[in-house]
Structure 1
Amino acid sequence: MSEIRWIVLDIEGTTSSTESVHVGLYAYARPRLGPWIDGRPGDPDVRSAVAQVKAEAGLPEEAATAEVVRVLHEWMDGDVKATPLKTLQGRIWAEGFAAGELTAHFFPDVAPALRAWHEAGHRLAVFSSGSVASQRPWFRHTDAGDLSTLVERHFDTVNAGPKREPASYTRIAQDLGEPATLLFLSDVPAELDAAAAAGWRTTGVRRPGEPSAAADFGPHPVVTSFEEVRVR
């Protein structure tokens, strides 16, 4: 079997608790969406995200910010992995981290494992539905110190594609290398299925108390801590 060269990490439910995202980060972004949009009328990323929201929600082009925010809040409530929502949230969160108003939560076993894997020569990447703009500060401002220097590559639904489609993992492999040398860690069986279909190696992460704690991981190896992950 080929040696693992890259370990690719999911975030929510895998490295970090779902609650820390849905309660902490979502609560931070929710009241800021409207002012953020209105305060950056010339920002091309904001304009593009707003246009995408209107298009996906069937809103008229002249719809007011309040209507756009209503849709964004509905998506947040339903945990919809919509790219324009992730883009706007990511920008807001990045500012919050930079201002010292946010700190990322990581499970206690994660930081030691990441440092050990990095020291052993394994390269680390992230594939999350959260935007790259939110991933970078998430790893930089953590309760376990700055972990951003350990992570070399970041992938999201914009630069890779949906996390439950094999084509997204094929696309990432074109950047990282032979699929058999890539290991994906996630708490979502459907994501692991997609990665395996693209030729990747996979490991399911079953975190007690997380939404996928009782999930059926099928043929994928399963761990409850990064200490149990086999990287050889």
Structure 2
Amino acid sequence: MPAATVTSNAKIILLDIEGTTTSISFVKDELFPYVLRNLKHHLDNHWNEPEMMADIDALREQAERDRTDGILSAPPILSTESVQSEIIQSVISNVEWQMSSDRKTTALKQLQGHMWVDAYEKKEIEAHLFEDVASCMKTWKKLGKSICIYSSGSVAAQKLLFKYSVKGDLTELISQNFDTRVGGKKETKSYSTIAEQLGVMPNEIIFLTDIVEEARAAKAAGMQTTIMVRPGNGPLTVQQLEEYETMTDFHQLKFE
């Protein structure tokens, strides 16, 4: 069972998003389907805009890397010399393939983030947060703690989520955001890089996540780690419960 409290002397609280601050169902049942439903409309309406061209270039480069790496199932994205409608269809095929494979590529996350801007601003989507999240973040800030985010979603998408949350705009509480540009979330080096960029020793950071492999990588880098046990998250084994501290609620985190 999750511990009653987790005590830490950390200066910095590094938060995952999906399954930690935000329900997995919100991401999978609202954010991702929005992209799939509106992708063609988005491409048609923003064609030739610099941001859109950059998104497509990034997706094309990723598709080329995939095929070079032997991932022959990766749908190619047609060159800029092709007919617009055909390029758009190739982008749709690639994005649908990536999302059905639950890929976390930077190129995909970049496009998704840009699409979610419209959704949030039009109030078609309001970002879910667990009930304890906003109040605890405010308390931690008052205690002088720095709050940072590390998610596979792009930095732009992270900022949108906390700006348009069900608890209002919380972006002023967040000191820094990190995404997969620092490395994959299951790679130890990513957490060492984050500590270096924040200018602190890894053991001065506590990382809260719902994914054991991420906690393991952060722990190997020297960070304090705690696994969140939230509604909808995957189950933990007896061994994992013995190996890692766990919480069901941010209120359980206490500071020395």
Percent identical pairs in the alignment equals 33
TM-score (structure 1 length as normaliser): 0.91
The answer to whether 1:47 aligns with 2:88 is no
Equivalent residue number for residue 171 of structure 1: 193
- Alpha-carbon distance in structure 1 between the residues aligned to 2:192 and 2:38: 36
Equivalent residue number for residue 227 of structure 1: 251
Q: Is this contact kept in 2: 1:126–1:154, CA < 8 A?
A: yes
- List alignment gaps of at least 5 residues for structure 1: none
Deviation at 1:103, TM superposition (A): 0.7
1:150-182 deviation per Cα after TM superposition (whole angstroms, max 9, x unaligned):
011000002x11000011111111111111100
- List alignment gaps of at least 5 residues for structure 2: 1-6, 67-73, 80-85
Which has the greater radius of gyration? Answer: 2
Equivalent residue number for residue 66 of structure 1: 89
Deviation at 1:136, TM superposition (A): 0.4
Pairing partner for 1:14 from 14, 20, 26: 20
After TM superposition, the structure 1 stretch with the greater mean CA deviation from structure 2, 169-178 or 218-227, is 218-227
1:72-118 deviation per Cα after TM superposition (whole angstroms, max 9, x unaligned):
11222232212211110011112221222221000111111111111
- Alpha-carbon distance in structure 2 between the residues aligned to 1:131 and 1:191: 17
TM-score (structure 2 length as normaliser): 0.83
- Alpha-carbon distance in structure 1 between the residues aligned to 2:78 and 2:189: 32
Structure 1 residues 54 and 61, CA, compared in 2 at 3 Å: closer, same or farther? farther
Equivalent residue number for residue 122 of structure 2: 99
Where in structure 2 are the equivalents of 1:103-122 lying within 5 Å? Answer: 103-122=126-145
Return the letter of the residue paired with 2:103: V
Where 1:7 maps in the other structure, the secondary structure is strand
Q: How many residues align?
A: 230
- Alpha-carbon distance in structure 2 between the residues aligned to 1:231 and 1:9: 16
Equivalent residue number for residue 83 of structure 2: none
- Alpha-carbon distance in structure 2 between the residues aligned to 1:230 and 1:40: 50
Deviation at 1:218, TM superposition (A): 5.3
Q: Is this contact kept in 1: 2:21–2:129, CA < 8 A?
A: yes
After TM superposition, the structure 1 stretch with the greater mean CA deviation from structure 2, 109-118 or 186-195, is 109-118
- Alpha-carbon distance in structure 2 between the residues aligned to 1:97 and 1:49: 24
Return the letter of the residue paired with 1:150: L
After TM superposition, the structure 1 stretch with the greater mean CA deviation from structure 2, 216-225 or 129-138, is 216-225
- Alpha-carbon distance in structure 1 between the residues aligned to 2:36 and 2:172: 29
Structure 1 residues 83 and 217, CA, compared in 2 at 3 Å: closer, same or farther? farther
Where in structure 2 are the equivalents of 1:14-33 lying within 5 Å? Answer: 14-33=20-39
Q: Which runs of 4+ in 1 moved over 6 A?
A: none
- Alpha-carbon distance in structure 1 between the residues aligned to 2:225 and 2:196: 17
